[in-house]
Structure 1
Amino acid sequence: MATFKAATIQMRSGRSIERNVEDAEALIRGAAAAGAGYIVTPEMTNIIERDRAALAAALAPEETDFALQRFRELARELGIHLHIGSLAIRNGDAIANRAFLIGPNGAVIGRYDKIHMFDVDLAGGESWRESATYRPGDTAVVADLPWVRLGLSICYDLRFPQLYRTLAKAGATVLAVPAAFTRQTGEAHWHVLLRARAIETGSFVVAAAQGGRHEDGRTTYGHSLVVDPWGKVIAEAGDEPGFLVTEIDPAAADEARRKIPALANERAFHLPEMPQVGSFAI
């Protein structure tokens, strides 16, 4: 089974779609020149904008989206598998947080809409309601690369291990987690969650992140990571935009799953109903 080079692109997307695409393109070209055949960008590659009206005004449907068209041209020019971690895309009267996997011929070979919406209230008054802006997806997605089967996810999905188990049981040995983790949650949980998903499934986890202070005022954690199927971090970025190129050996996933066959050993179980208050089990 052939090894291949995977790259994570770390960005600090702002409010200008054109500038974000230019920044991403420069980093993608650098990663391709370093030999990467599969390149993944972070969540919200095309725009980070908290103001809902401004966000909606900037977006287009998939068929006419400037960023997607440019990235398709770029994948074809460079002959790479380009995974745009997500774009904000107009979807009828709503907005989708949608990932695109683009083949070397420029065709879109996989789409995934983020399933889990980040609706949380954090310490210090930080509050997010993604469901007020985005329409969630309801379908898990795997796609075949020349070297491996890839499982797609986006950011907050990371906290829902059943998704990754489903992807792994569908044959995925590389799990992509493009993200824009907040600094607060990233400092607390980013590394441990990514390592856990790798260990639980015996998979490589490739996580491209947003990092730094953005134009709309939010701060993201950065630290793009690649984790091997044994849970070891084999590549890590810092806070600044850039890219990591990492050699991936698909045989390592097979080896990890032979050593710890957790996917094969899983058994169905049930939880009995609890007795009513005031009643007793005899």
Structure 2
Amino acid sequence: MDDLHGLPAAPLTVAAGQAACARLDVAANVATAAALVRRAADQGADLLVLPELFLTGYELPGIVADPATCTLSPVDPRLDPLATACAETRSAVVAGAPTRDPETGELHISAVVLGRDGRFAAQYDKQHVTPNERAAGFGAGARGCTVDLDGWRLGLGICWDSGYPEHARAAALGGCHAYVVGAMFSRGSGERQRATVFPARAMDNTSYVLLANHSGPSGPYHGCGGSAVWNPDGTLLADAGTAEPGLATARLQPDVLARARAEDPVLVDPSLTAPARPRSGADL
């Protein structure tokens, strides 16, 4: 079990981004992502998080029909403009993209992480795929993923993962200070999920929570926007609203986290609950 009492030494500025996607056009979406990295860096962000499947759009049939073109790998040269933006601004990015297991060929809905130097740092594969995603041909990831940026431990999630309280709890019990999610929440029911689930995950785990959500049409859905950051007590810290493109930029504070966790009985004594599930990790 990781040391749950360790806190970051300094604040971290994060941004949740949203923008329209071009259908299955990786180059165009990478360019949009790179522009958002630069815009977020101008606002002081150390990290930008982007929505689920942002680099292709939420286009499941198209991805499955042509995985050789639509999936990305850690060494994919199409990521170069995004890597350059990270290296030049000294900021990291978490970008939603489809991937394919090089050994089994299984498709995954993933979050690809590039560090401040622009180099590939980590990949998280969505663990809770929806029935529609499974039927389309996407498999579930085998483990959680934590990345470390300037002493802040960030647990990654993708959309439906957030609907399972134990997913965010495993991140907190694994020592994470924030739960970071890229998603496709649509107008209507998605708006209600966004407004209900994310404050609860923050308050339940006394963790900062960040949501990057689609803000326009993609596949069969129309994203409701509302990319946001919540405080460890569940209160809203920053909200991009319906801005297109938009950023929700917030400064995560160690003292705020410390105060929220001082009276959390589970995080003070992890033996009160089940152990965290295994998580891979990477330093940014």
**Shorter-chain-normalised TM-score: which range?**
0.7 to 0.9
Query: Is residue 232 of structure 1 aligned with residue 235 of structure 2?
Result: yes
Preserved CA contact (<8 Å) 2:12 2:150: no
Structure 1 SS opposite 2:259: helix
Instruction: Return the alpha-carbon distance in structure 2 between the equivalents of residues 137 and 68 of structure 1.
Output: 22
- For 1:210 and 1:234, the matched residues in 2 are separated by 19
Paired residue secondary structure (2:185): coil
1:98 aligns with 2:115: no
- Distance between the aligned counterparts of 1:65 and 1:59, measured in 2? 11
Deviation at 1:268, TM superposition (A): 4.9
Displacement of 1:142 in angstroms is 1.1
Q: Can you list the C-alpha shifts for 1:115-158, whole angstroms capped at 9, x where unaligned?
A: 00112xxxxxxxx3344231210101112110411111111100
Q: Distance in 2 between matches of 1:67 and 1:106?
A: 13
Sort the Cα spacing of 1:94 and 1:22 in 2 relative to 1 into closer, same or farther, 3 A: same
Partner residue, 1:47: 56
TM-score by length of 2: 0.84
Q: Aligned pair 1:21/2:21, yes or no?
A: no
Deviations 1:205-225 (A, max 9, x none): 0111111223x3421221101
Q: How many residues align?
A: 259
- 1:196-240 deviations in Å (ceiling 9; x for gaps): 1000110000111111223x3421221101000010011112223
User: Equivalent pairs: percent with the same residue?
Assistant: 29
Deviation (angstroms), 1:95:
1.9
Distance in 1 between residues matched to 2:72 and 2:227, nearest whole Å? 29
What's the offset of the Cα at 1:241?
2.2
**Aligned partner of residue 202 in structure 2, secondary structure:** helix
Secondary structure at the counterpart of residue 129 of structure 1? helix
Preserved CA contact (<8 Å) 2:152 2:176: yes
Q: For residue 107 of structure 1, what is the aligned residue in structure 2?
A: 119
Corresponding letter in the other structure for 2:101: N
2: CA distance, partners of 1:74 / 1:233: 29
Q: Displacement of 1:262 after TM fit?
A: 3.4
Amino acid aligned to 2:99? I
- Runs ≥4 residues deviating over 4 A: none
TM-score by length of 1: 0.84
Q: Quick one: distance in 2 between partners of 1:61 and 1:10?
A: 20
Describe the SS at the equivalent of 2:189: helix
2:15–2:47 CA contact under 8 A, matched in 1? yes
Shift of 1:67: 4.0
Aligned letter for 1:224?
A: S
Deviation at 1:98, TM superposition (A): 1.4
Helix, strand or coil at the partner of 2:53: coil
Aligned equivalents of 2:75 and 2:115: distance in 1?
19
The residue aligned with 1:203 is 207
Structure 1 counterpart SS, 2:117:
coil
Q: CA deviation at 1:63?
A: 4.7
1:77 alignment counterpart: 88
Q: Give the structure 2 partner of residue 12 of structure 1.
A: 20
| Letter of the structure 2 residue corresponding to residue 9 of structure 1 | G
Cα deviation code 1:24-75 (max 9, x no counterpart): 2212211111111111111112112242454535324515534433322321
1:190 maps to: 194
**Secondary structure in 2 aligned to 1:181?**
coil
Question: Which of residues 135, 141, 146 is equivalent to 1:142?
Answer: 146
Cα distance in 2 for residues equivalent to 1:24 and 1:61:
15
User: Cα distance 1:64–1:252, how it changes in 2: closer, same or farther (>3 A)?
Assistant: same
| Mapped pair 1:34 → 2:43 | yes
1:118 and 2:130 correspond: yes
1:170-189 Cα shifts (integer Å, max 9, x gaps): 11011101111122331221
